[in-house]
Amino acid sequence: MISCINPYLPSAETMNNVTINPKVVLFIAAFAAFIATFNETYLNVAFTPIAETFSIDLITVKWLTTAYMLGAAVVVPISAYLYRSIKTRHLFFASLILLIAGSVVCALSVNFPMLLIGRIIQSIGTGILIPLGMNINVACAPRQKLGKYIGIVIAMTTIGPSASILVAGGLLSCADWRTLFWVYAVFSLICLICGMCLLKNIAELNRRKFDVLSYALIGLGLIGVMYSISVAFTGNLLFAVLSFVIGLVLLFIFAARQKRPAPLISLQPFKYPVFTIGLIINMLAIIAMFAMNILLPYYLQTSLGVEPIIASLTIFPAILLSSALAPAAGRFCDKHGPKVIVPAGFILMGVFSVLLAAFINTGNIILFALLYIPVICGSSIILGPAQSFILSRLSGEENPHGVVLLSTGFQIAGCIGSSVFTGVYAVFETASGELAFTAAAGLTAVCMLCGFILSLTLSAVNRRERGAE
């Protein structure tokens, strides 16, 4: 039996001489995760009416998603610094106020640039809120229940994007697209009020000096890499490659600079091979989850002529079941480690992605819904256990930096899943929708095979590290 518990982490019962109720913190963290990830796909179904309102094409309107992802990715790297420099309550309030303010700007926008600015304001709030929620959850969770607690938050990050599509589709059937932002502002306000009533200051502050140069390096580096991924199939390929190379160079310079005392982001978690392997495993699962969540509904709408709300309902049973499964998967990891459950998740995702492609020509929506359940359930039994396992390997001081690295990996993986896989789909779509979906599903299966191989090494590497200590 391999425990996920790190005995060196502090007790979750009292922090900074303040009594903490872990269940209350879990509620806040889960609500924050839902709010933050809900917004990532909330606007996708409104692209067409927005394009019509401002007389722009769909390529332009998709910048609402691209800019949002880039904005969140650029903010995430300073989340560890903010977590240790600003009181927890103040940081939580600031992130929610940004989400509310961005929503109001979007709802009142009179032109597309104003709408885009509102989305960027929202993305800054998201970039703070996602790692903050994970940090307070990891800091306060009972050590023997860390997998369960992370599993619940993972469940919220899974159900959030899918629930947003259903909510947005329902609202658009009876209201203007601006209503989406007013409704989201209300959701964010409720989360803010809950935080005001329930959340206490958790993090121990250290007031380190902010490294402006390091932040510029990682911010510009991430923009270069993620922008190149986003436009690789729709823009100038040479420019995309150049952007990718420059981004990588800047990230390498950033990594070298973090060897200085008091780094912006400590790269110490990478000294544990188990953390590096776990991070890659998480990214592979997220890539597949994003890709399939986008491509199956898209195929149903474009090739079969299904209404958006029906396409969303097709994938929703899988989302609900996976959300229920995630905490159970976390509890299993708490007791038995990841050596069985994580490889099983990759098997489910890979095999049933191939089966979806094999039966895609049937046009049977009920069959698609049933085959899709193991795909998304597979992701839920990978993400929670893998994250709790590798974070439990870190000390209390290293944990905020580990969360930053995981959150940054999440943003990059989401960008790959949504951009690269849709690009592959577009290349083959000129021949047929069936061929396009098959090609994308095949690429997903290859990623899952790589993840399966890596997952087999995770526990063995951890045992070697423990033995070396």
Query: Looking at the predicted structure, is the pLDDT value of residue 429 above 70?
Result: yes
pLDDT at 19 over 80: no
Instruction: Give the span between the Cα atoms of 28 and 18, in whole angstroms.
Output: 17
The 10 Å Cβ neighbour count of residue 460 is: 11
Q: In this model, does residue 252 exceed pLDDT 90?
A: yes
The more confident residue out of 362 and 236 is: 362
Q: What percent of the chain stands above pLDDT 70?
A: 93
Residue 6 has a pLDDT of 41
14 DSSP β-pair partners:
19
- The predicted-structure confidence for 106-137, as pLDDT tens digits, reads as follows 999 999 999 999 999 999 999 999 889 888 88
The CATH superfamily label for domain 14-200+264-468 reads: MFS general substrate transporter like domains (1.20.1250.20)
CA distance linking residue 77 with residue 222, whole number of Å: 10
For residue 174, the SS3 value is: coil
pLDDT in tens, 275-289: 999 999 999 999 998
The whole-number average pLDDT for the span 195-205 is 87
Residue whose entry in the numeric block shows the structure tokens 């083959």? 428
The residue length of the chain stands at 469
Give the pLDDT band (50/70/90) at residue 16: low
Residue 469 has pLDDT above 60, yes or no: no
Structural tokens at position 83: 């977590």
Question: What percent of the chain lies above the pLDDT cut of 90?
Answer: 35
235 pLDDT tier (thresholds 50, 70, 90): low
Please, how many CA atoms are within 13 Å of residue 420, restricted to the half-sphere of its CB? 18
pLDDT at 334 over 90: no
Tens digit of each residue's pLDDT (9 = 90 or more) over 394-426: 877 788 888 889 888 888 888 888 788 888 888
Binning pLDDT at 50, 70 and 90, where does residue 18 land?
low
| Contacts within 8 Å (CB) and 24+ apart, 292-295 | 292/353, 292/356, 292/372, 292/375, 292/376, 292/441, 292/444, 293/41, 293/161, 293/162, 293/376, 294/417, 294/418, 294/421, 294/422, 295/421, 295/422, 295/425, 295/437, 295/440, 295/441
